[in-house]
Amino acid sequence: MSQVPHPEFAQITEDALTRMEDAPQARLQAVLAIIIRHLHDAIREARVTEFEWEEGIRFLTRTGQTCDTHRQEFILLSDVLGVSMLVDALNHTGADGISESTVFGPFYAGKQPTIALGSSILKRPEEADALSIHGRVRASDGTPISGALVEVWQTAPNGLYDVQDEDQPAGHLRGSFETDGNGTYAFQTVVPVSYAIPNDGPVGELLKALGRHPNRPAHVHFMITAPGYRRLVTHLFIDGDPYLKSDAVFGVKSSLIVTPQPTGSGCLSIGYDFILSAEDPVAGLHGSQ
């Protein structure tokens, strides 16, 4: 049952695979078999020492222990290793014209109370340029999607999300909206800034040891949900940001880079339409929460 040719100590891998031949869940068994083969192959190829194995155990343990209700260090690890973007790519090979998705990230804080279209998501004033973001949520044939739930979140100008910063009111720079009969969404915020992902934990230490910077280019998170359509998790990035080419989590796609435009009122404005994919019934079961 193993596809391993004849690697060193193949019997150990074979035993681990054979032991789960009676697994009641075929999909779990299939995924675990692939993980075990690749994990064993990686350990063989790297000739991992016992000390390195111990370091790996300690790293994973600390990564789990760094997680709490407001921090998800394993998502961060997945993000910085390019795993999150690969999973995203495999699951969103949609037709042309569908809006591109990107990493969910570790800072979603649950559904916020729905507020009126055009409202501000600030819960305190910020010294930063005001920004209006608006557009329509549509199907690939152009039909407006009314009643779509548009959830947005971003950091404050200090580079921290509300859940990372006890000085910010809860829900600051987060909002939920429902599109109107024309599929329109609209809200007021401030121009986002580039920021460092949390780098005082195991993932930050790893990045430092790898000579990598922890910065993400400025962006606003979007999650858009509508019955009959695939959930869209994405960002809008601000053009000109110095980290667009080296996002610590590999999340940038060119179709998601936008340039705020000055308006008559002295405010900046971004217009962006999101095009949702019709729901694949199978993906609907397995591909979304």
User: Residues 86 to 115: which contact its own copies by CB under 8 A?
Assistant: 86-91
User: How far is Cα 165 from Cα 184, in angstroms, rounded to an integer?
Assistant: 32
Site for its own copies in 50-79 (CB under 8 A): 50-54, 57, 60-67, 72, 74-75, 78
Query: Of the candidates 142, 169, 240, 287, which one interacts with its own copies according to CB under 8 A?
Result: 287
Query: Of the candidates 4, 6, 23, 98, which one interacts with its own copies according to CB under 8 A?
Result: 23
Q: Which residues pair with 114 in a beta bridge?
A: 176
Q: Whole-number minimum distance, CB 216 to its own copies, in Å? A: 13
- The DSSP output letter for 266 is S
Residue closer to its own copies (CB basis): 26 or 95: 26
Structure tokens at 163: 């859940």
1 binds its own copies (CB under 8 A): no
Residue closer to its own copies (CB basis): 74 or 272: 74
Q: Whole-number minimum distance, CB 181 to its own copies, in Å? A: 30
Query: Of the candidates 26, 47, 95, 264, which one interacts with its own copies according to CB under 8 A?
Result: 47
Instruction: Give the chain's end-to-end CA distance (angstroms, integer).
Output: 32
Q: Whole-number minimum distance, CB 273 to its own copies, in Å? A: 23
User: How far is Cα 219 from Cα 252, in angstroms, rounded to an integer?
Assistant: 10
Task: Identify the three-state secondary structure at position 50.
Answer: helix
85, 124, 229 from 98: Cα distances, Å: 17, 35, 11
Residue closer to its own copies (CB basis): 191 or 283: 283
How many C-beta atoms surround the C-beta of residue 9 within 10 A?
10
User: How far is Cα 171 from Cα 107, in angstroms, rounded to an integer?
Assistant: 12
Query: Of the candidates 1, 42, 271, 280, which one interacts with its own copies according to CB under 8 A?
Result: 42
Residue closer to its own copies (CB basis): 128 or 283: 283
Q: Which helix (H) or strand (E) holds 151?
A: strand 149-153
Query: Of the candidates 5, 110, 211, 266, which one interacts with its own copies according to CB under 8 A?
Result: 211
Number of residues interacting with its own copies: please give it, by CB under 8 A: 73
Q: Which range in 125-133, 136-144, 209-217, 220-228 contacts its own copies by CB under 8 A?
A: 209-217
Residue closer to its own copies (CB basis): 1 or 28: 28
Binding mask 158-197 for its own copies (x = CB under 8 A): ----------------------------------------
User: How far is Cα 238 from Cα 220, in angstroms, rounded to an integer?
Assistant: 9
With CA atoms as reference, report the closest residue to 6 among 43, 48, 42, 41: 41
Instruction: State the SS3 of 165-208.
Output: CCCCCCCCCEEEEECCCCCEEEEEEECCCCEECCCCCHHHHHHH
30 binds its own copies (CB under 8 A): yes
Q: Whole-number minimum distance, CB 260 to its own copies, in Å? A: 27
154, 156, 251, 261 from 164: Cα distances, Å: 12, 10, 21, 30
Contact criterion met (CB below 8 Å) for 87 and 79: no
44 binds its own copies (CB under 8 A): yes
Site for its own copies in 250-279 (CB under 8 A): 250
Query: Of the candidates 26, 95, 116, 209, which one interacts with its own copies according to CB under 8 A?
Result: 209
